[in-house]
Amino acid sequence: MSKHKSLYHQVNTIIYGQLRIGQSKYKARREEGTKYPKGIFSHMTFETYMQQCHQFVNWLKENEDLPTVRAIADARKYVGTYLNELKDNDYSVFTVHTAASALAKLFDCRM
């Protein structure tokens, strides 16, 4: 079994790898032929997504009912549980949607 970096480091590596600040999102849409181009084009969005992903990692670490997760790829199966818990704890729809968007970028999938 190989040694993994911390979950925070894995999140940082993935999110930093998607930075496209200074590039045109409109141009990327045309070039990729999709409504949702890959990458993060805004510094504010980057900060928000990083914060949301770190909150997800905190939840993983603090939740004693879950087995220990060492690789961020293994954490994907807990995203639904996390988002449902946010809804159950009366977080706003906006906050839940933002968390879902951030985690979709983290795991390279669509909402």
Residue type for position 23? Q
Q: How far apart are the C-alpha atoms of 57 and 69, rounded to whole Å?
A: 9
- Residues of the chain above pLDDT 90, percent: 85
Q: What token pair was written down for 48? A: 């928000």
Query: In this predicted model, what pLDDT tens digit does every residue of 75-85 receive, in sequence order?
Result: 999 999 999 99
Query: In this predicted model, what pLDDT tens digit does every residue of 27-59 receive, in sequence order?
Result: 999 999 999 899 999 999 999 999 999 999 999
3-class state of residue 75 by DSSP: helix
For the range 12-16, what are the long-range contacts, defined as Cβ-Cβ under 8 Å and sequence gap of 24 or more? 12/50, 14/72, 14/106, 15/40, 15/46, 15/49, 15/50, 15/53, 15/105, 15/106
Query: In this predicted model, what pLDDT tens digit does every residue of 95-110 receive, in sequence order?
Result: 999 999 999 999 998 7
Q: Determine which helix (DSSP H) or strand (DSSP E) holds 61, and give its type and residue range.
A: helix 43-62
